[in-house]
Amino acid sequence: MKKIELEIVALSHSLAQTQNYAIVLGENDGVRRLPIVIGEFEAQAIAVAMEGMEPSRPMTHDLFKNTLSGFNIEIKEVVINNLVDGIFYANLICINNGQQTEVDSRTSDALALAVRFGCPIYTYEFILEQAGIILEEETEKEVQKAKSRRSEKKEKVKSLQENSFEELEKLLKVALDTEDYERAAKIRDEINNRQS
């Protein structure tokens, strides 16, 4: 079965269940979205990793990542591989000394680890057919913003401090054009620090 790559495009309170959150995954090369309801703890774990925040003490997912890394185990990818009675199932595809192992995981935990390991997230067509949606308010800017984030990940963009002043100005223009205001603020701060 062909895998379809996804990326995290949104994390918000669930409208249906007030104590839960919804993480929205989007097709890399399409407009379908896959909303998944997750708990508050997992939402916090994903948000902390996405924002690059480092808590003073490791959270559970950080501890698990550190443990795996300590034993030279890498998570190669996360695969959302089934949907039964509205519950998503996922596997962690792990590599240790060249040997691949699949580990069953709750989808929310798998996503929290995917963010920490920087690994791709996949699913299958039948899952997108069952649970995927196309948002009517989907705009070209949102698609471009997702492509911008994806190219940043794939190129393993150097840190802002390593960019020249001219490169920073180009990055700022791209971030503003794609309405990635969070990244634009970080770039602007770096430019202001250099001008001071």
d(CA 157, CA 32): 27
Residues 124-165 have pLDDT tens digits of 999 999 999 886 655 455 655 665 665 555 444 457 777 788
d(CA 26, CA 187): 26
How much is the average pLDDT of 54-79?
Answer: 91
Closest CA to 4 of 153, 132, 124: 124
Q: Which residues touch 43 (CB under 8 Å, ≥6 apart)?
A: 11, 20, 21, 23, 108
R_g over Cα of the chain: 18
- Please tell me the number of Cα atoms within 13 Å of 39 on its side-chain side: 6
3-state class of 164 per DSSP?
coil
3-state class of 32 per DSSP?
strand
d(CA 164, CA 140): 29
Give the N- to C-terminal CA distance of the chain in Å, as an integer.
55
Token digits of residue 180: 């990635």
Token digits of residue 10: 């949104």
Label residue 169 by pLDDT band (50, 70, 90). Answer: confident
d(CA 147, CA 178): 9
Delineate the domains of the chain, giving CATH numbers in brackets.
3-134 (3.10.690.10), 140-195 (no CATH)
Residue type, 8: I
Q: What is the pLDDT of residue 170?
A: 79
Higher-scoring residue by pLDDT: 52, 102? 102
CB 23 within 8 A of CB 90: no
Class of residue 56 by CB neighbours under 10 A (exposed 0-12, middle 13-18, buried 19+) = exposed
Record the pTM.
Answer: 0.69
